[in-house]
Amino acid sequence: MTTAATLAEPLAPLRADPARTAVLFDVDGTLAPIVRHADDATVSEAVRGLLIQVAKRYGVVACVSGRRAADARRIVSIGSIAYVGAHGGELLRPGNVRPEVDRALEEWSRRVQDFAREADNAPLSRLRIRLEDKESIVAFHWRGTPDEGAAHAAVQEVANRAEAVGLSTHWGRKVLEVRPPVRMDKGIGIRHLLREADVRAALYVGDDATDLDAFDALTELAQQGRLDTVICAGVRSEEGPREIVERADLVLDGPGDVRALLEALLAG
C-alpha cells in the first residue's frame, strides 16, 4: 500500500502554496468504497477528519460526483467544501443550500424522469435492478443482483430504448446512466468551479471513466496557462478503466491509498 511518506515528494508542489491550490476528489470508489447499494455509500470518519483538515489549509477543496450535489454532500458530510454534482450539471458552493444548476439540464429533467417511470417495470424488479434518481439523470444499478448477466442484458434494453427516444446513455461500474442529450461531464463542472478561483495548481483524484474528463479539463487549463501544476491521481480497481492508470501521474490502490494521499497533503 502507498504511504503518506512515498506521496510527500510528488505532492510537494501543492504543499508549497496550499492557498493557491485546488484539491478535487471523486466520491464513489475514491473517498468512499464501492458498495452493493449506492445509498449505503459512506466516507469513513478517519477520511472525513483528514478532508476537513485539508479544507482548512488549501484554497479550493471539492468533491466531484455523478450523484446530485446534495447527495454527495450528505455522503461526505462536510459543509465547508464545494460539491460538483450530476457530472458537472450542478455546483453547490460551500455553505449554500441550493446548487447552481445548468438551465439546459433543468429543461430535460422531466423527460428523463418520465422515461424512468416507464422503464421501471416488473421485469426489472424481478431481476432486482435498482433505480437511483439523480434529478436530471437516472441510474440503473445491477451490482449484486441474483443474476448479473440477465440484469445487464435487461439494462442494455433500457439503454436502447433511451437512445431511441433521444436521450443519452453512459455506462459505469455495473451501472447505466440515462442522461439529457446535452454535454455534461466533470470537466465542465470543474471549469465552472475554478473560473474565478485564485489557484495556480490542482490535484484531481478519481477511479472511473467519467474522471478522465476531469483529467482532460485540468490538462487543458494548464496548456492555456491558467494552471502551473496539475497532478492527476488514478485509483486502480478491477472494474475501473485501464486509462485511469495509464493517464495518471500518481496511481493509488483503493480508498486506503486515498487516505494516505490526504495525510501527505497535510505533511510538513
Q: Within 13 A of 103's CA, how many CA atoms are on the CB side?
A: 0
Q: What is the pLDDT of residues 64-85, one digit of tens each?
A: 998 989 999 999 999 999 999 9
Residues of the domain holding 157? 103-179
pLDDT at 47 over 60: yes
Does the pLDDT at position 105 exceed 90? no
Q: Among the options 26, 28, 71, 102, which is catalytic? A: 26
The pLDDT score that the predictor gives to residue 1 is 55
Can you give the pTM of this predicted structure? 0.79
* Residue that terminates a domain, selected from 146, 179, 212: 179
Whether 92 is in a domain gets the answer yes
pLDDT at 54: 98
How confident is the model over 29-54, as a mean pLDDT?
91
Tell me the pLDDT tens digit for each residue of 228-268. 999 999 999 888 889 999 999 999 998 889 999 999 999 97
3-state secondary structure of 156: helix
Amino acid making up residue 81: I
Query: How confident is the model at residue 244, as a pLDDT?
Result: 95
> Domain check: are 117 and 175 in the same one?
yes
Give 218-247 as a 3 state SS string. HHHHHHCCCCCEEEEEEECCCCCCHHHHHH
User: SS3 breakdown of the chain: % helix, strand, coil, rounded to 5?
Assistant: 45, 20, 35
Instruction: Establish whether 198 is a catalytic residue.
Output: no
Total number of domains constituting the chain: 2
Q: What is the pairing mode between strands 100-101 and 90-92? A: antiparallel
In-domain check, residue 37:
no
Is the domain of 210 the same as that of 222? yes
CATH of residue 148: 3.30.70.1020
